[in-house]
Homo-oligomer: A and B are copies of this chain.
Amino acid sequence: MSTTATEAPRRNGVDVPTLFATLDAVKNQKEIAKFQFRASNTWVSGTHNRSQLSGFYGAMQELQHKQVTTLDADHPAVLVGQDNGPTPIEFVLHAIAACLTSGLANIAAARRVDLHKVTSTVEGDIDLLGLLGLSDGTVRNGYQEIRITFHIEGDADDETLRGLVEQSRKRSAVYDVLTTPTPIVINVITN
């Protein structure tokens, strides 16, 4: 798929020609697509800790976000924390909503659909008997189910708008890591 001279350069805030040019560049040099994202975390006190997101590797170079993002996490008071930030597992809900929404905007632009408004709400059900070690092993530690509801307004019919979400789901990095097992390697260096 390629752009034409008559195509609007931006649709939904997406630079469509550059998006297609980027896809073409990756097709021609697949090494460009190898990325590594990173976070560093420091324990503050109790269940309170803080991460920074800044540098990453991609497009065959070391890169930096234009700003460092600092994220606090804690447990709420009802879970014996000081509530200095969201619970770690809540960030997963932001991640899935954000990933599907970012993808949706790109896909809509590629399909020449003008979006007016996209909002979503996410719920994650979790039974803490699992992570508290109080179940007989039948209750999982994490979410039993995540539900996300999108409200989408755009210049397209219902089927087309639903198709944007479905395509975004199919190409979502966060959807994938939550629904398909992801290998996690943990190393520990002490004292």
Contact = CB atoms under 8 A, between A and B. Distances in A.
A171 to B, nearest CB: 5
Contact of A140 (B86, B98, B153, B180): B180
A41 interface: yes
**Chain A: interface residue count, which band?**
35 or more
Nearest to A53: B86
A8 interface: no
Quickly give the copy total for this chain. 2
Residue of A80, A94, A151 most packed against chain B (CB within 10 A): A94
A87 B190 CA distance: 31
Residue of A43, A51, A96 most packed against chain B (CB within 10 A): A43
Contacts of A4: none
B184 A146 contact: yes
Interface string A62-105: 01011001010111111111110111111111111111111111
Contacts of A176: 130-131, 140-142
B53 A90 contact: yes
A170 B147 CA distance: 25
A119 interface: yes
Contacts of A33: 127-129, 132, 134
Residue of A120, A132, A146, A162 most packed against chain B (CB within 10 A): A120
A73 B92 CA distance: 13
Interface in A118-158: 118-134, 140-154, 158
Interface of A: 12-15, 18-19, 22-23, 26-27, 30, 33-49, 51, 53, 56, 58-59, 63, 65-66, 69, 71, 73-83, 85-106, 109, 115, 117-134, 140-154, 158, 161-162, 165, 169, 171-191
